[in-house]
Amino acid sequence: MGQTVPSTCDTLIIGAGMSGLAAGIRLAQYDQNVVVLDRHALWGGLNSFYKKAGRPFDVGLHALTNYVDKGVRGKPLTRILRQLRIPYDALKLGQQWVSESAFPGVKLRFSNDFQLMRSEVAEKFPSQIDGFDRLSALLADYPSLPTAGMPVFARTRLAEFLTDEKLVDLLLLPILYYGSPTPHDIEWGSFVVLWKSLYEEGFARPQGGVRTILTLLRDRYKELGGQLHMRQGVAKLLHENGKAIGVVLDSGHEIRASRILSSAGLVETMALCGEALQEKFSEEKCAGEMTFVECISLLDTPLVDLGHDKTITFFNTTERLIYEAPEAAFDSRSGVICCPDHYDNQIPQHEPALRLTLRAHPQKWFDFTDEEYAATKESAWQAGHKAILPFAPDIRDHTVFVDTFTPRTVRQFTGHTRGVVYGSPIKSPDGTTELENLFLMGTDQGFLGIVGAMLSGIAMANVHALQASPS
């Protein structure tokens, strides 16, 4: 079925996720012979979709961040659409209702209107509002792209503006859950990117969920003549004298390419490059450990009828923020509750969904027997839905179907070592690697979220494959 896998191309792209497809579109648009490969049968990578028991599910997408209205210029969302030549209206975006960061006794609500968060801070932390205003003014002037530099952590910088640690925790909770590969804190450059995409801009969801975006990307790529080959995993990356020259597929087929863009991740890409590089960027030294278990519950009753009108609730049941890989298989003391139906412009679902995301242990899930695995998934659902009761309704008697994905699922579908979601703590902002003609994009380049992933693919394609390519 489909096209034959070629033996040469201009640019070879590993991974048919958001970054790979976006990069592919850019290159196909300018007549490059471009090949996108993915080991999995479905495209989308960390943001994909599937059906179970006849019911459609999304993976990854809680929200599309970086929401701006149509016509707003110079923001990540409008820049990627222009670069990909996809009309704004094609995304069919609906804005979030309202979200919150919630600790025992104190909540900070926020929406796509930044003033809501500001007024919440002014009301609940009056002594901090001047510092908050200085902070938000500083961040508003930062560029939206990740920058290289000394690794400074967000808590250190935030202490220059905010003295109340509870407020710092409230502001950090959504940001850490949205993209920190490190426990309890996040590197400052990533913090800035996420502050802008979550708080200055905001959340939206395409009508139809992640499928809508992925279908647009795939169709656009194919219409431009790009080749997409699914079920074609890369077994080995070929290089000579420090230069990447091609790949060998699982099938043994060899493809030579002038350059390779990999969205597989730092550790995962280097593992394809032979012993020396595999050792230098080994799992032990470089892999992240933040991964998650997510229970998607389908309900017999809309959540609004149970008294819940939030879009996303980032919750923490203890006084201080907990964000770390747990000792046990999962930890229900903090997490994310997402109601994908709580966006404007959504088609009412016969079975409304609630998604509960908890931190997971990066190894234990792989060691379980099938019985232990199934039992732990069940206990994550039970314990999680009990833990969120201070923040969300009890849905346990309203649940008609549950599907749970774990680090094991993430590894199976993305190839990420340990099933990690936010990649390695070591990022490559310019995409370069130890090998010439091999570049990283996606999560380990340092861009986050769906819009970030697409921007990463575009930026890496522009810099390393268009600007640099000879005529």
Partner 1 sequence: MTKEDIVLAIKDIIATIAPDEELDGLNNTDLLRDQIELDSMDFLDIVMELRKRYSVVVPEDSYGELATLDSCANYLEPFMAEKELKIGV
Whether 14 and 41 have beta carbons less than 8 Å apart is answered as no
142 scored as a contact of partner 1 (CB under 8 A)? no
Nearer to partner 1, 81 or 448 (CB): 81
Nearer to partner 1, 261 or 388 (CB): 261
Q: What are phi and psi of 10, to 5 degrees?
A: -75, -55
Q: Which of residues 435-464 bind partner 1 (CB under 8 A)?
A: 458-459, 462
Nearer to partner 1, 168 or 458 (CB): 458
Nearer to partner 1, 67 or 365 (CB): 67
Among 85, 84, 66, 69, residue whose Cα is nearest residue 19? 84
105 scored as a contact of partner 1 (CB under 8 A)? no
Q: Residues binding partner 1: what is the number (CB under 8 A)? A: 16
CB under 8 Å to 356, separation ≥6 — which residues?
294, 295, 297, 335, 336, 337, 338, 381, 384, 385, 388
Cα 59 from Cα 211, distance rounded (Å):
10
Cα 278 from Cα 260, distance rounded (Å):
17
90 scored as a contact of partner 1 (CB under 8 A)? no
Nearer to partner 1, 162 or 224 (CB): 224
Least distance (Å) between residue 74 CB and partner 1:
6
Among residues 1, 41, 51, 73, the one that binds partner 1 under rule CB under 8 A? 73
Among residues 3, 41, 54, 71, the one that binds partner 1 under rule CB under 8 A? 71
Least distance (Å) between residue 190 CB and partner 1:
21
Least distance (Å) between residue 242 CB and partner 1:
23
Q: Determine the distance from the C-alpha atom of residue 192 to the mean position of all C-alpha atoms in its chain, rounded to a whole number.
A: 16
Diameter over CA atoms, the chain: 65
Nearer to partner 1, 54 or 470 (CB): 470
69 scored as a contact of partner 1 (CB under 8 A)? no
Least distance (Å) between residue 16 CB and partner 1:
23
258 scored as a contact of partner 1 (CB under 8 A)? no
Q: Which of residues 13-52 bind partner 1 (CB under 8 A)?
A: 29-31
Among residues 39, 62, 79, 361, the one that binds partner 1 under rule CB under 8 A? 79
Nearer to partner 1, 304 or 466 (CB): 466
Least distance (Å) between residue 376 CB and partner 1:
46
Cα 329 from Cα 106, distance rounded (Å):
28
CA geometry: angle 277, 278, 283, nearest 5 deg: 135
Q: How many CB atoms lie within 10 A of CB 133?
A: 14
Cα 202 from Cα 94, distance rounded (Å):
11
DSSP run (H or E) holding 191: helix 188-194
143 scored as a contact of partner 1 (CB under 8 A)? no
The helix-helix angle for 18-29 and 76-84 (nearest 10°) equals 50
Written in H, E and C, the secondary structure of 88-126 is HHHHCEEEECCEEEEECCEEEEECCCHHHHHHHHHHHCH
Nearer to partner 1, 91 or 237 (CB): 91
Least distance (Å) between residue 90 CB and partner 1:
13
Cα 185 from Cα 322, distance rounded (Å):
10
Q: Which stretch binds partner 1 (CB under 8 A): 67-75, 221-229, 250-258, 394-402?
A: 67-75
89 scored as a contact of partner 1 (CB under 8 A)? no
Least distance (Å) between residue 20 CB and partner 1:
18
Least distance (Å) between residue 30 CB and partner 1:
5
CB under 8 Å to 145, separation ≥6 — which residues?
193, 447, 455, 459
Among residues 5, 306, 402, 466, the one that binds partner 1 under rule CB under 8 A? 466
Nearer to partner 1, 215 or 469 (CB): 469
Whether 422 and 448 have beta carbons less than 8 Å apart is answered as yes
Note the residues at the interface with partner 1 (CB under 8 A). Answer: 29-31, 71, 73-74, 79, 82-83, 85, 458-459, 462, 466-467, 471
